[in-house]
Structure 1
Amino acid sequence: MTIQAVIFDIGNVLIEWQPERFYDSVIGEDRRRALFSEVDLNGMNLEVDRGAPFAQSVHDLAAKHPKWDAEIKMWHDRWIEMASPQIDHSVRLMAALQAKGTPVFSLTNFGVDTYDRAAQDYPFMRQFNRDFISGHMRVIKPDPTIYQRLEEESGLRGENLIFTDDRSENIAAAQMRGWRTHLFKGPDGWAKRLVTEGVLTESEAA
């Protein structure tokens, strides 16, 4: 079957997402390890991805852990430094697909507020043909519901879709629905896959 849409995750596919790296650079690795062991920052972030308000979620968590108040609030105040830099080759692939008339969708675990904040720095985030953002949908990958809703809302399914994501559990959930998939380990591998699938030429994927 012909590919009718290409689906991109965003974090670590189009934008690097490395909170630990950020905290290591600011407070040092040892202190970061202590912070992440005592405070469930990633759990809080998943709730934001499910649609919880960003600033309130961070401040509520900080109030529960006054010892780490300043460090926790960095998750909000310096969030864009964690969500950087842009992965330029991946962004070029997105543009190349659209230039050929191939629709490109996002399917991303991203909060409502954090997505709007990131889009200020990364204009490509407003250029998808269709957006499937967990914060708006109130469900996160790899819950099968988010994949089903993409199918229902786009009218596409199975081998009409090819999806890349950096997390194996998200890829496995898409495979269960018959999607073509690519586990993202870098833009060069993704580019080669798009060439192999016949949606881009080698020069277009460069």
Structure 2
Amino acid sequence: MISAVLFDIGNVLIRWAPEVHYDRRIGPDRRRAFFAAFDVYDLMNRIDAGAHFHDTISEAAEATPDWADELAILRDEWADLATPSIDHSVRLLKALKSRGIPVFALSNFGAENFPLSVAVYPFLDLFDRRYISGEMKLAKPDPAIYAAVEADCGLAPQSLLFADDRDDNIATAAARGWQTHLFTTPQGWADCLVRHGLLTKEQAQ
């Protein structure tokens, strides 16, 4: 029996594909050159693991002045980078909440930039518990963050159902005994929730 449903946020509830915004802002050619020269995802991984969002990006800009303007976009235009919402997934979150099923967030997200997204997407305030990696100074797929979730919520691993878009994050959760769903489309996640008896087909639309 499922006691709580856990949502990753990036690419489950909100799209995280920064290349799209950069293409609009600086053009595909400059964006490709920037991403080839500078590992944006590694920088964000450090922020997700607890490094300060604003300070870390500003320090990177000072260290790589050729890309300072592009890094300023990452720092100053977060709401335009982490967008749009994945509306069907948001409906699923709200449907579970309305049925009284505990819903948790388990996401690799910086402590300082997460509130910026909450301000744009108030549904991120609906969770009964939020496990944000930057606040915890732990990040998926480190087993320690999953253990911390279990210790905090007090629920048996097998009673947790977790959706994430990354294989490695799902694999670690499954190894701990969690029920898992590799998120590829909102409809696939909806079907999973229906199979577990958490929502009806109508509720999962």
TM-score (norm 2): 0.98
1:41 corresponds to 2:40:
yes
Q: Residue by residue, what CA displacement relative to the aligned partner does 1:72-119 show, whole Å, maximum 9, x if unpaired?
A: 110011111110011111111111111111000000000111101100
Question: Shift of the alpha carbon at 1:48?
Answer: 1.0
Partners of 2:43 and 2:92 in 1: CA distance: 32
Identity %: 48
Question: Shift of the alpha carbon at 1:30?
Answer: 2.1
* 2:110 alignment partner in structure 1: 111
* 1:76 alignment partner in structure 2: 75
Question: Shift of the alpha carbon at 1:158?
Answer: 2.3
Partners of 2:157 and 2:138 in 1: CA distance: 20
Question: Shift of the alpha carbon at 1:7?
Answer: 0.3
* 2:133 alignment partner in structure 1: 134
Find the residue that maps to 1:85 and give its secondary structure: coil
Partners of 1:157 and 1:113 in 2: CA distance: 31
Question: Shift of the alpha carbon at 1:43?
Answer: 1.3
Question: Shift of the alpha carbon at 1:201?
Answer: 0.4
2:117 alignment partner AA: A
1:166 alignment partner AA: D
1:9 corresponds to 2:8:
yes
Partners of 2:49 and 2:169 in 1: CA distance: 15
1:195 alignment partner AA: V
Partners of 1:42 and 1:63 in 2: CA distance: 18
Find the residue that maps to 1:113 and give its secondary structure: coil
* 2:89 alignment partner in structure 1: 90
Partners of 2:61 and 2:110 in 1: CA distance: 19
1:120-159 paired onto structure 2 within 5 Å: 120-159=119-158
Partners of 2:40 and 2:92 in 1: CA distance: 32
Question: Shift of the alpha carbon at 1:40?
Answer: 2.1
2:120 alignment partner AA: D
How many residue pairs get aligned? The number is 205
Q: Residue by residue, what CA displacement relative to the aligned partner does 1:185-205 show, whole Å, maximum 9, x if unpaired?
A: 111110011001101000110
* 1:29 alignment partner in structure 2: 28
TM-score (norm 1): 0.97
- Where structure 1 has 5 or more consecutive residues not aligned to the other structure, the ranges are none
Question: Shift of the alpha carbon at 1:69?
Answer: 1.1
Question: Shift of the alpha carbon at 1:42?
Answer: 1.4
Partners of 1:130 and 1:68 in 2: CA distance: 38
Partners of 2:199 and 2:155 in 1: CA distance: 20
2:47 alignment partner AA: V
Partners of 1:193 and 1:127 in 2: CA distance: 21
1:196 alignment partner AA: R
Partners of 2:110 and 2:202 in 1: CA distance: 35
Across the aligned residues of Structure 1 and Structure 2, the Cα RMSD in angstroms comes to 0.9
* 2:19 alignment partner in structure 1: 20
Partners of 2:158 and 2:77 in 1: CA distance: 40
* 1:52 alignment partner in structure 2: 51
2:148 alignment partner AA: R
Partners of 1:48 and 1:187 in 2: CA distance: 27
2:13 alignment partner AA: L
2:107 alignment partner AA: T
1:175 alignment partner AA: A
